[in-house]
Amino acid sequence: MDEKGRFPDRSDRRTFLAGSATLGVAGLAGCLGLFGGDDDGDDDGSDLTELGYGRQGQELGGTSMAEMPDLEGELSVYSGRGEFLVGNLLSYIEDLYDDFSFSPQPRYGNSTELANTIVTEGDGTSADVFFSVDAGSLGMLADEGRTRTLSDDVLEMVGEEFRTDGWIGTSGRARSIPYNTNVLSEDDLPDSIMEYPDGVDAQLGWAPGYASCQAFVTAMRILEGEDATRQWLESVVDAGIATYGNELAVCEAVADGDLDAGFTNHYYIQRVKDGREDAPIATTFTQGDAGAIFNVAGAAVIDEADDPELAENFIRHLLSTEAQDYFAVRTFEYPLVEGVPPVGELPSIEDLDVPNMDLTRLSDLEPTVDMMRDVGVQF
C-alpha cells in the first residue's frame, strides 16, 4: 500500500495477494480497515478494504486469486446478488487484470426474473455467467438445459451437497432462531421447529412476506408434509406472532427487546451485532428440520457463453480465499470453501444439523404462499 493508501499495479497486487494469507488480524486489519467499511456500495472497489485475510490471527484455507488463471477478455454477468453487496468484489476482480472487463457492466436484478430472462432470450442471450442469490433459480436454469457442465476441479472446490454438474454454490445462509439474551437462554428454546410456537413461552416475530421465510415454509411442506405445515401455520396465526417487513427488522426488534425471539436467516443477526457490538442478541438453530435449512448463493456458466473457459475461471475467483472471506466479512454468510470460517460465534457448516433435501425445490413458492394466505397469514 502506498502513502496515499492505494494498492500498486496489477503485477504487484497479485504478489500482495500471494503473500497476504500469512498475515494476522492486527497487521492486515490495520492496513485495510476491513472491519470498518460501510455497506452502502459507495466504495470504488479498487482495493481490498472489504476482503479480510487472517481473521482471528489465523491463516485461511482455499486458493488465492494469485494462484488462479488470469482473466482475459470480456464477460457478461447477470447477477441476482445485489450490487450493494457484491459490487465491490466484482470491481476488485475486474481491476485486478489489465485485459479483463465486464462488458456490459454486470446486470443486477431479481434472481428468478434474471433466470427467466435468460430462458426467454434463448440462443440470443448475452449472459455468460449467472450469479444467483439462491439454488432454486440455478436449478431452474439447469433443468432448462441452459447451463454448461463445470470442470471437476471447480466442482471439487466445495462440498457435493452445495453443487450439481451445472452450477456451484459460492456462499451459504442458514435458517436460525435469533433470541434476546436478557430474556431467554439457548436452553429455553426447542431444537425442533415443529415445537414452535406452542413449545416456547416467548413473544415471537417473523417476516412472512420475505422470500427466505417463504422458502423455509416451503422446506417444511417438503419435509413434514402439507397437513403438518398447515397446522403449524395455523398455530402461528393463533399465537399472534408479530409480523415484520423483513428479517433484519425482526432481528433489530429482538435486540431492542420488542421480541424475545424470531425466525430469520443467520446473517441478519450478525449484521445487528456488527452495528451494535453489545446488542443482547444471540443465535441458536433447530436440528435436522425445515428450521435448519441451509440455502446457497451460487453461479453457473450459461450454455451460450462466448468464452466458457473465461466464464468458468471467473467462477473460480468467486471461490477464491479472498472472495470467500469477503462473503464472510461483508455479507456475513457462510463461506463454502474449506478452511475459511464464518464471522461471529457460529458453528461450522459441519456442526450444523442440516436436513437432507434438494435445495432447488425451495423455488416452489406459489403453493406455500397460497397456503399461508389460506390460513390467514398477513403479509
pLDDT in tens, 242-256: 999 999 999 999 999
**Looking at residues 335-363, what average pLDDT do you find?**
93
**What are residue 201's phi and psi, to 5 degrees?**
-90, 85
Closest CA to 184 of 267, 262, 109: 262
pLDDT tens-digit readout, 79-112: 999 999 999 899 999 999 999 999 999 999 999 9
pLDDT tens per residue, range 285-322: 999 999 999 999 999 999 999 999 999 999 999 999 99
**Would you give the distance in Å from CA 378 to the centre of its chain?**
27
Residue 42 confidence (pLDDT) above 80: no
3-state secondary structure of 297: strand
Q: Per-residue pLDDT for 44 more than 60? A: no
Q: What are phi and psi of 200, to 5 degrees?
A: -140, 135
- CATH architecture classification, 173-294+350-374: 3-Layer(aba) Sandwich (3.40)
Mean of pLDDT values over 185-206: 97
Instruction: Please report the pLDDT score of residue 105 as a whole number.
Output: 96
Q: How far apart are the first and last CA of the chain?
A: 49
Same fold, 10-172+296-344 and 173-294+350-374: yes
What is the third-level CATH fold of 10-172+296-344?
D-Maltodextrin-Binding Protein; domain 2 (3.40.190)
- Grid cell 455479507 in the structure block, residue: 331
Question: Tell me, what DSSP letter sits at residue 174?
Answer: E
How does DSSP classify residue 52? Answer: -
Q: Where are the domains of the chain?
A: 10-172+296-344, 173-294+350-374
The contacts of residue 145 (CB under 8 Å, 6+ apart) are: 303
CB 16 within 8 A of CB 7: yes
The pTM (predicted TM-score) of the whole model is 0.85
> Given a cut of 70, is residue 47 above it in pLDDT?
no
